Amino acid sequence: MGAPAPDFNLPGLDNLPIDLKSLVGKLIYLDFWASWCGPCRLSFPWMNELHDQLGDQGLHILAVNVDAKRSDAMRFLAEARPTFQVAFDPAGLTPRAYNVRAMPTSVIIDRRGVIAASHAGFSTSNAALVRREIERLLGVSR
């Protein structure tokens, strides 16, 4: 928390590179997920909702997959159908850089590229609190 978010450059669904530096200025919700992670199944619909409702207010969701096999990740995505951006890190360098301790883990990076918050695991009850945190950081009034 409070530290600058480690930089990374990962391929997206179209295999074009996604660079963290290029996202400066947005509020980034960085989510580490895998096809074999149970709670990840529940987090995707919630992230879809976040993207639909707050995407045009400066929120950028980036879900980084850590599956060793791309085909496992694709099978998950076919069912989860994310509307947000997905990147692939089979080597696991990014979760290591972000000191991920559980799956899934979400990291909120503020508009200056500094880590504002980090949450291990996913639960719908906790998600409501995280959403309020995001709205506050976006300066969205309710």
Partner 1 sequence: MAVTEPWLSPSQAAVGKALLAAASLLPCLPSGARAETAPTFTSVSYKYLDYLDFQPDAERVRVIANAVNVVSPINERWSFSAGAVTDAVSGASPRYYTNALTKLEDYRRAQNISLTRWGSSGSVTLSHARSAERDYISKSLGITGVWYVDDTKNTAVTAGLGAARDVIDVPARGVNNEGKSVNDFLLGVTQVLTRNDVGQLIARYTTGHGYYTDPYKSIDERPRERSGYSALVRWNHHFPSLESSVRSSYRWYQDSFGIRAHTLGFEYVQPLANGRLVVTPLVRWYTQTAANFYLPANPGRNGRTYPAEDAVYYSQDQRLSAFGAQTLGIKSAIRVSGNTWFDIKYEGYKQRGQWALAGRSDASLAPFNARSVQVGISTRF
Partner 2 sequence: MRLVSSNNLPRLFFLAVAAAALLPACSSVTPVAAWEKGTLARPEMTFDWDRLESDYAEHTYNSKESAAGGAGVGGGGCGCN
The residues of the shown chain that bind partner 2, judged by CB under 8 A, are: 32, 34-37, 66-68, 72, 92, 95-96, 100-103, 105
Residue 39 sits in the site that holds partner 1 (CB under 8 A)? yes
Q: How far apart are CA 60 and CA 58, in angstroms?
A: 6
- Catalytic, out of 40, 47, 80, 108: 40
82-111 binders of partner 1 (CB under 8 A): 101-102
Cα 69 to Cα 4: distance, rounded to the nearest angstrom: 30
**Which neighbouring-strand residues pair with 109?**
28, 115
Q: Could you tell me which of 11, 127, 123, 129 has the C-alpha nearest to residue 62? A: 11
Least distance from C-beta 69 to partner 2, angstroms? 8
- 24: partner contacted, choices partner 2, partner 1, none (Cβ within 5-8 A by kind): none
| Binding site partner of 31, from partner 1, partner 2, none, Cβ cut-off 5-8 A by kind | none
Binding of partner 1 at residue 41 (CB under 8 A)? yes
Q: Rounded to an integer, what is the distance from CA 88 to the centroid of its chain? A: 12
CB contact set of 19 (below 8 Å; sequence gap of 6+): 7, 8, 9
Report the interface residues with partner 1, using CB under 8 A: 38-39, 41-42, 101-102, 121, 123-125
